[in-house]
Amino acid sequence: MSDCYRIKISDSEETQSQSDLSFLGGKPRVPKSIDIPKCELCGEEQSFFFQIAFPENHKWNEFSMAVFACTSCAHEGYFIPEMLEDELSGINIPSDFLREYQKNFRIEVFKTTDGAIQTNYKEKVKFKRITLIEEIDKEIFNNKIGGSPNWVADDETPGSYNKTEPMVFLMQLLEDFKFEKLPDAPSQVKLSLTKKQEPSNRDYYELFLGNNIYFFGTASLENPLVYVLTQI
């Protein structure tokens, strides 16, 4: 059995249900104890982008990861997750870094069975169901769960967290991944050429400038943490 799953996104018009575990947009399915995060830069509620229930054979099986990011502000230095200041390949991620770097985005990890649709959330991204297709991992670019990362530049696989905790590859999203915006949702804020914050005229949201995005997680699931980095 392979530990690699291709992400297939449905193009059909569908309604979200409690049985949906992996999807783009709609309403997050997270434990009731988790509040919708607020941006530490502007104070506004962050937008829900997607979540994945890690499948059988994946090291994070039985856990889910939900990804939020602010679409209400844009600040230089915060377009992508903060990067460590050293050679990234094999780097040790310092203690507390994975909590402190989440200023205008938030990654929530929880037991899949604890999730419930948060009906009070005002959805912004159009719901699209995700199907995970098991396949043999190949050195080709694809949106995928598990397997090995397909780097577009140098290999930046981290070595450990807090010098003791190994890190495992979770998933990747390809460059220019678009999250379709609902017609009545506010536009994503961007910086103009004059550095003024203004609404975009696009009918979609981008996560981390639409760069290639790589997610790694701690091998131990006692307190699962996520390290995310981008490449172009």
Band of pLDDT at residue 2, cut at 50, 70 and 90: low
pLDDT tens track for 106-133: 999 999 999 999 999 999 999 999 999 9
Q: How far apart are CA 65 and CA 51, in angstroms?
A: 5
Band of pLDDT at residue 3, cut at 50, 70 and 90: confident
The token pair at 120 is 């009070």
pLDDT tens track for 14-28: 999 999 999 999 999
Tell me the three state secondary structure of residue 196.
coil
The total of other beta-carbon atoms located within 10 Å of residue 228's CB is 21
The CA dihedral of 8, 48, 19, 4, to the nearest 10 degrees, is 40
Q: How far apart are CA 86 and CA 81, in angstroms?
A: 15
What does the domain layout of the chain look like in residue ranges? 4-231
Average pLDDT, integer, range 67-74: 98
Domain covering 4-231: architecture: Roll (2.30)
Buried b (16+ CB within 10 A) or exposed e, 84-107: beeebeebbbeeebbeeebebbbb
The pTM of this model reads: 0.97
Q: How far apart are CA 36 and CA 41, in angstroms?
A: 15
